Amino acid sequence: HVQLVESGGGSVQAGGSLRLSCAASGYTYSSYCMGWFRQAPGKEREGVAGIYTSTQGGVTYFADSVKSRFTISHDNAKNTLYLQMDSLRPEDTAIYYCAAGPPPFGRLCGVNNFSAWGQGTQVTVS
């Protein structure tokens, strides 16, 4: 049973930074997909970024609006996923969810690769 626990959300002014963390446990795969999704008020959940935790794995940014501002990374030793968010904008305000899923067929995780979800953490940019 996979458990994902997010932390690091909060309130920040536009142009500021936040780092989200997600501690993962209980996965039977040695390498797997992990990612970040977000849901803004009144909008559907959207993928932000994904990473395949294998040493051969790669990173995908699902949302064009976060490219060059957000960085996803994973610490294999700590089984922890991170999302460094810089140059935050009010439109980044959302609940951010950590997600995990089985390994992809290639090096990259697609937006539909995820089947387990954390409880979410609120990010508010004003």
Q: How confident is the model over 29-39, as a mean pLDDT?
A: 94
Short-list 98, 107, 91, CA closest to 49: 98
pLDDT digits (tens, 9 = 90+) for 92-122: 999 999 999 999 998 999 999 999 999 999 9
Dmax over Cα atoms in the chain, in whole Å?
A: 40
- For the segment 63-84, what is each residue's pLDDT rounded down to a tens digit? 999 999 999 999 999 999 999 9
Mean pLDDT of the region 42-65: 95
What is 6-17 written as a DSSP string?
Answer: EE--EEE-TT--
Q: What confidence tier does 28 reach under pLDDT thresholds 50, 70, 90?
A: confident
Q: With contact defined as beta carbons under 8 Å apart, do 62 and 48 qualify? A: yes
3-class secondary structure per residue, 49-63: EEEECCCCCCEEECC
